[in-house]
Amino acid sequence: MRSRRERRRACRGAGVVVAGLDEILNAVADGTRRAIVQRLAHGPATTGQLAELVPMSRPAVSQHIKVLQEAGLLRTTLIGRHRWHQLDTGALAAVENWAHRIAQIARTAPELRLPAAPDKEKP
């Protein structure tokens, strides 16, 4: 198993070191975390503001935030008594770059595609 440092080195996007692609995709596999990411796409928010999005306790939301932080998807800044969270677009760029490369491979390798199944006539 690779260390967190090795995973971060393995996936670099837009010049920013980000977590490994698996960690990023696992983080956004959860609907609550996707909702948090979608909200933060509109700008920074406090933990309390993010907790208002979902029907769960603030400590539960904090755990989701922690997963997103560890995946490199968001940064947190303490201002006064409030923790402000914002997206780190480096991790999103890594996912975008990976998806783009896969799409390019799929488009340029048509000979690897299976032929379409023949239409079956109904009796």
Question: Which tens digit of pLDDT belongs to each residue from 43-86?
Answer: 999 999 999 999 999 999 999 999 999 999 999 999 999 999 99
Residue 17 — pLDDT band, cuts 50, 70, 90? Answer: very low
32-49 burial by CB neighbour count: b if 16+ within 10 A, else e? bbeebbebbeeebbebee
Predicted structure pTM score: 0.71
pLDDT at 119: 74
Q: Give the domains, in start order, of the chain with CATH numbers.
A: 4-99 (1.10.10.10)
Q: How far apart are CA 81 and CA 12, in angstroms?
A: 33
In degrees, rounded to 5, the angle at the alpha carbon of residue 85 between the alpha carbons of residues 83 and 87 is 170
Tell me if 11 sits within 8 A of 20, measured CB to CB. Answer: yes
Q: What is the rounded distance in angstroms from the CA atom of residue 101 to the CA atom of residue 96?
A: 9
Which H/E stretch holds residue 120? none
